[in-house]
Chain A
Amino acid sequence: MTPYLYAVPLLGVFALLYTWLRAGWVAKQDAGDERMRTISGYIADGAIAFLKAEYKVLALFGLIAGAFLFYLGTTSSNSSPVIVIAFLIGAVFSALAGFIGMKIATKANVRTAQAAKTSLSTALNVSFSGGSVMGMGVAGLAVLGLGSLFIIFYKMFVPSGLANGEEMVKALEVLTGFSLGAESIALFARVGGGIYTKAADVGADLVGKVEAGIPEDDPRNPATIADNVGDNVGDVAGMGADLFGSYVATILATMVLGREVTVTNDQFGGLSPIFLPMAIAGMGIVASLIGILCVRVKEGGNVQTALNTGNYISVVISAVASYFLIMWIMPSGNFTIRGFSFDAMGIFYAVIVGLVVGTLMSIITEYYTAMGKRPVNTIVQQSSTGHATTVIGGLAMGMESTVLPILVLAAGIILSYEAAGLYGVAIAAAGMMATTAMQLAIDAFGPIADNAGGIAEMCELPKEVRERTDILDAVGNTTAATGKGFAIASAALTSLALFAAFMGTANITSIDISKAPVLAGVFIGAMIPFIFSSLAIAAVGRAAMAMVQEVRRQFREIPGIMEGTGRPEYEKCVAISTQAAIREMILPGAIALLTPIIVGFGCRGLFSNASSPEVLGGLLAGVTVSGVLMAMFQSNAGGAWDNAKKSFEKGVLVNGKMEYKGSDAHKASVTGDTVGDPFKDTSGRA
């Protein structure tokens, strides 16, 4: 075995070392006065309480799933009961990724608010440092876990050292357990966190803003702490687990396909196509760290430009370094995968395609959700004629927003395939995900800045503090939108790579939709994202109703609450969100986990003209196509409604007249935003 393989987990350790040192730096920053510490303490306690409750349920799930995997491991020569260990490590690492993010975010929020008293650059430094802790932590855990387990399983299951043999199939199959653990936790964290955050947000907005007429994050609103806790458990912990899962799945799918690539005369004993995606991920950690260190802004400077500069630096370094890495790792000459011939340069082109697709998807998403652009302006204009036209406008815009990203994705799939076959499609996704640490640092910075603004409002800090946190928050909203575009693109390419890996492992060469059972599978698969969304959105509706009733009760029954002399019972609202999230996340999660198992095993021998892997392949095709479209539609519609509402905060020209907060058009835009909240933050992103 090549000693270079050890460099992968070592780079993971390097990233975790940075995480530890930077987290220590953030913790040492001034956390402000007594009131600020008390408010941020409520938020941190609520977030920890939710994670504890969530992890208890997930531990039970882990035991049941582990038992099932153990059984599967004993029934196939291509698997092993050791898959349970990989699964549990993946699940624990995924939970840890979310926990690290949530812990640092709840420390960085109050310190950002305190730093904003000094200057914008100091506030950005603290909030972005918090984001970078999470980004490097997630990437470090992923690379450390995957790299170490691969070395262990390679030694355990591949004594011959043959990279293309059946022994390697077994080693990679067992390694798949790590990814399964990671994605399972990610799904529950995203669904649970999404329900939590939106139940609190919708509840706080409907009674606080609309009925009582008090501003966002007002300390008199009983749901305001739950709302801020939601930013952490949904936008930070959920996102950490999500991108951890994506990162691992992408690398793993490329490794599985890499086993099928036939190479000769490489310096790694035939391992080069399997080693390459791990090497690119390790290199991406270094590129991301350089990008992170380049994010600086002067007082009065542009925060968005500073973040973009850091991001582009890491992407360019990744692209250049990928070239040298590919040329070093892959031997000269041609390789083949499933009859498709390509060379090292083709792999590099595929990586470039991945980076370009990721960037374009982010730009298109930003266009459809940014203030001042045609899509949001159209919804703003439609707000002038009422609530219904606002909702209709947003739905139409969300549907339109799928056109360009799908064309970009389609072009990306074709070009990366032309460059290096199915291995090219997978490596394009791996190239796109190489700078995950940087992307996540930018993504996590948003909710930290949002929370900082909330703390500034609740603690009645000076106006200039809120102005500075508002600047950071506005940038955070944009980065959140572009991050979603990036996440959807990576998920689509990763799913295609996983799909190709599944076909190879299941020993099928094509999915023929002229066979009735396969076509039925496609339709059933296409339906899954709809029922999944329905369950998630309905859960938010039910939890929000309970929240609204509780907030109304407190406004009615607690004396002096509106005058600011009576203390709201924040903990009751936190409990409503927590219980609803834990209860409601189980069914959508179960659908995602059980459907492939039921179809895969249930259809064995059922049809005379189609095997169960073919039917399951049809199901996966349906769920991928429908899921990607639904994700784009829901995320972009929700984002556009949100920014249409925000356009009224500074005033916007509607039919030749300036309209502000409180106008009828603004009230209609709030309805659109409320409809879009579970779209973009619960079902769309899970």
Chain B
Amino acid sequence: MNILIKLMSIVSLVIAPHIAEKGGERGMAPVKLENERTEIATRPHVRYAESFAPTAVKVIYTALREVK
């Protein structure tokens, strides 16, 4: 249990620069909704696919949307 809690803390410290907030914005979803498109865009899976997913996932996602 000692190592479990230390290891999880160290893994978090190692990935911290990659998930770090910049000016309190990064990593957080937009709060204000301006239109329906924005509302759809704030759904977790859409935001993930459009903003944070690896390039390969973005390509597949965009292709699927165009097929729709």
Contact = CB atoms under 8 A, between A and B. Distances in A.
B28 A184 contact: no
A574 interface: no
Contacts of B30: 608
Contacts of A593: 7, 11
Contacts of B11: 180, 592-593, 596-597
Given A242-B3, A592-B4, A620-B8, 18 more contacts: A76-B18, A78-B17, A177-B14, A180-B7, A183-B6, A246-B2, A495-B5, A502-B12, A506-B16, A592-B3, A596-B8, A597-B11, A604-B48, A604-B51, A609-B28, A612-B19, A613-B27, A686-B1
Given A173-B14, A507-B21, A601-B15, A606 B7 contact: no
Interface in B19-48: 19-22, 24, 26-31, 42, 44, 47-48
Contact of A245 (B6, B28, B29, B51): B6
25 contacts: A75-B18, A79-B18, A173-B17, A176-B10, A180-B11, A183-B6, A187-B4, A245-B7, A256-B13, A495-B6, A498-B12, A502-B12, A506-B20, A528-B4, A592-B8, A601-B18, A601-B19, A606-B48, A607-B28, A608-B30, A613-B27, A616-B19, A630-B1, A631-B1, A686-B4
B32 to A, nearest CB: 10
Contact of A506 (B3, B10, B21): B21
Interface stretch (A310-318, A541-549, A621-629): A621-629
Interface in A419-477: none
Q: Is the interface of A mostly helix, strand, loop or mixed?
A: helix
A595 interface: yes
B3 A187 contact: yes
Nearest to B23: A507
Contacts of B24: 611
B48 A631 contact: no
B1 A529 contact: yes
Contact of B12 (A187, A620, A630): A620
A592 B14 CA distance: 14
Nearest to B46: A605
Interface stretch (A20-28, A198-206, A486-494, A641-649): A486-494
> Which are the 6 A-B pairs with shortest beta-carbon distances?
A631-B1, A491-B2, A498-B9, A505-B16, A611-B27, A78-B17
Nearest to A525: B8
A388 interface: no
Given A79-B17, A180-B10, A597-B15, A605 B1 contact: no
Contacts of B52: 601, 604-605
Nearest to B33: A608
A179 interface: yes
Interface size class, chain B: 35 or more
A498 B20 CA distance: 15
Interface string A176-199: 110110011011001000000000
A532 interface: yes
A501 interface: yes
A487 B17 contact: no
Contacts of A176: 10, 13-14
Contact of A611 (B13, B26, B47): B26
Given A245-B3, A631-B2, A499 B21 contact: no
Contact of B1 (A184, A619, A685): A685
Given A177-B14, A611-B26, A246 B20 contact: no
A177 to B, nearest CB: 7
Nearest to B26: A611
